[in-house]
Amino acid sequence: MPKMRAAQITRPGGPFELVERDIPQPGPGWVRIKVQACGICHSDSLVKEGHWPGLKFPRVPGHEVVGVIDAIGAGVTQWKPGQRVGVGWHGGHCGHCNACLAGDFFGCTVDLKVTGISFDGGYADYLVAPAIAVALVPEELPPVEAAPLMCAGITTYNALRNSSARPGELVAILGLGGLGHLGVQYAVKMGYKTVAIARGADKGPLAKKLGAIAYIDSQDSDPAAELQKLGGAKVILATVTAGDAMSAVQGGLGLNGTLVVVGAAQSMQVSPLGLIMGRRSVKGWYSGTAIDSQETLAFSALTGVRSMNEIYPLEKVAEAYARMESGKARFRVVLTTGN
């Protein structure tokens, strides 16, 4: 049996173990991908800390995977070896439950899969994934550039393009980290009047460089009042994981404005009167499925939206993960395999 490297977690809170495993075989309807790069996402802590209900160990995390298809399982007709592809958070669905029949694959009630949680992910030389969860990667995007777009990218791009904001309208991006620095770029390229909100004056120049028309330092001023001075936001995309920061910006929504939440905060406060009087809303957005990933990648290749990354080899997975956890990475951490 040919072998490969994989970085696995064997118990909640346990360390990464770099182990040698048999290269997996794709079953019917699955493909095998030779991994080139895999981004490290904060959600990988669900595996590292064992917080995902029913998670089975050992588990290899990683849902920002980019590589090359090198084997296909029985019945797979849409992919062939040699194609460059990616896999994101959405790892598959049944295709026949009521949610799936309605096209709401994210709500599948029978067989919803998450990459790196329901099956082993991309912190390895190879992974196998359901063929329906795989997205084509455009030639212009090298593996390291494409990988973070498979979660951080799709999450912000897909939330914005499905929002009620139209080109020219005021859109605010709350947070300027891994998700936020992509969110600002997507909002700018979609033609929104884009405002970035984060803590500290030091992030202002970056926000401007990414194309924002204004930067609001939430430590120095009231972000809701500042947004109202600009006319009120049609959409605020909340990429942070702090509920109090989300609560603090909702007053910056204009009439019919929507706070779109993609950061998994524990809780947040909402003002019912604010919702009622301005017919405002708060909603969440699920990252997306394979076609959304594919369109995220295509839009990024077309418009030049790129993630800024710190790159580590797979052997340094512990160091790379700690760097992500520190919150100091500028801005996404990506593992490379050398494949």
Q: How far is the CB of 183 from Zn ion (least distance, A)?
A: 14
**Nearer of residues 146 and 253 to Zn ion, judged by Cβ:** 146
Draw the binding track, 39-78, toward Zn ion (x: CB under 5 A; -: no contact). --x-x-----------------------------------
Q: If you write DSSP's letter for every residue of 238-259 in order, what string do you get?
A: E--S-HHHHHHHGGGEEEEEEE
Report CA-CA distances (Å) from 335 to 16, 139, 187. 13, 20, 27
Nearer to Zn ion, 62 or 252 (CB): 62
Are β-strands 170-174 and 193-198 bridged in parallel, bridged antiparallel, or unpaired?
parallel
Kindly tell me which of 43 and 309 has the beta carbon lying closer to Zn ion: 43
- The 10 Å Cβ neighbour count of residue 18 is 16
For 70, 106, 202, 310, 333, the CA distances from 85, given in Å and listed in that order, are 11, 20, 36, 21, 19
Q: Select the residue interacting with Zn ion from 4, 9, 47, 108 (CB under 5 A).
A: 108
Judged by beta carbon, residue 93 or residue 193, the one nearer Zn ion is 93
Long-range contact pairs involving 291-296 (C-beta distance under 8 Å, separation at least 24)? 291/135, 292/154, 292/157, 292/158, 293/86, 293/88, 293/90, 293/135, 293/149, 293/150, 293/154, 294/135, 294/136, 295/157, 296/149, 296/153, 296/154, 296/157, 296/158
Q: Does 277 bind Zn ion (CB under 5 A)?
A: no
Interface stretch with Zn ion, choices 69-77, 146-154, 277-285, 300-308 (CB under 5 A): 146-154
Per-residue contact string for residues 84-103; x = within reach of Zn ion by CB under 5 A: ---------xx--x--x---
Report, in Å, the least distance between residue 145 CB and Zn ion: 17
151 binds Zn ion per the rule CB under 5 A = yes
Q: Which of 12, 51, 57, 110 binds Zn ion (CB under 5 A)?
A: 110
Please, which residues have CB within 8 angstroms of residue 132's CB and are 6 or more apart in sequence? 29, 92, 93, 95, 290
Instruction: Pick the stretch among 108-116, 215-223, 234-242, 314-322 that binds Zn ion (CB under 5 A).
Output: 108-116
Residues in the chain: 339
Q: Taking the complex as a whole, how short is the minimal distance between the CB of residue 331 and Zn ion, in angstroms?
A: 13
Helix axis angle, 290-303 relative to 152-161, nearest 10°?
Answer: 90
Q: Quote the least distance from Cβ 292 to Zn ion, whole Å.
A: 14
First to last CA, the chain: 19
Q: Which is nearer to Zn ion, 108 or 314 (CB)?
A: 108
CB nearer to Zn ion: pick between 156 and 218: 156
Least Å distance, CB 272 to Zn ion, is 31
Closest to Zn ion by CB, 64 vs 226, is 64
Q: Which residue's CB is nearer to Zn ion, number 16 or number 215?
A: 16
In order of 172, 204, 270, 316, the CA distances from 267 in angstroms are 20, 28, 10, 34
The answer to whether 242 contacts Zn ion (rule: CB under 5 A) is no
The number of residues that bind Zn ion (CB under 5 A) is: 9
Residues that bind Zn ion (CB under 5 A): 41, 43, 93-94, 97, 100, 108, 110, 151
